[in-house]
Amino acid sequence: MELWAIWLIIAGVLLVVEMLTLTFYLLWVAIGAVVASAVALFVSESFIWQVLAGSVVVLVLTLFTKRITRYFKTSKGFKDAVDELQGKQGIVVEPIIDGKPGIVKVGSETWSAVAEESLGKGETVEVLERGSALLKVTKWRGDV
């Protein structure tokens, strides 16, 4: 199989994984793989030049988009959808016991979660805050 085709397959796989994660980092790597494929097809058969071209594209995209995303996040009216989880109800999917993380379902998403108390499977919880990868939850007390 030709090397340019392998680069395109790698790009396709990365695009599919990106659609599942929505991080944008794999998107830049996929675009770099497409550039490496173009270099392999039109410019040079040298693997080093292909990797170098793809790496430069990934680096440039990463550097420029960090500035743009930072600008959008600090702009007036920007609200991250994940930040809206605070105060929402969820259901415990995997128990939270002795401060060890469990899993809760909030809306249609599942999250790792911690709580100050043990919570069993099926209990209703309220999201107190969101960390980088964990939700802090407490037992749902209803409309008190």
What pLDDT was estimated at residue 92? 94
Note whether residue 124 is domain-resident: yes
pLDDT in the model for residue 82: 59
Which ranges of the chain does DSSP label H, i.e. alpha helix?
A: 3-21, 25-38, 47-74
* 55, 74, 93 - which closes a domain: 74
Q: What is the pTM of this model?
A: 0.54
Contact 37, 1 (CB under 8 A): no
Among 57, 74, 91, identify where a domain stops: 74
Residue 118 lies in a domain: yes
CB neighbours of residue 54 within 10 Å: 25
Residue numbers of the domain that contains 54: 3-74
**Radius of gyration for the chain, computed over Cα atoms and rounded to the nearest angstrom:** 22
Domain tally, the chain: 2
What is the pLDDT confidence band of residue 78, given thresholds at 50, 70 and 90? low
CATH code, 131: 2.40.50.140
Look at the block and give the residue holding tokens 């979660």.
Answer: 113
Q: Are 28 and 60 contained in the same domain?
A: yes
DSSP letter at 75?
A: S
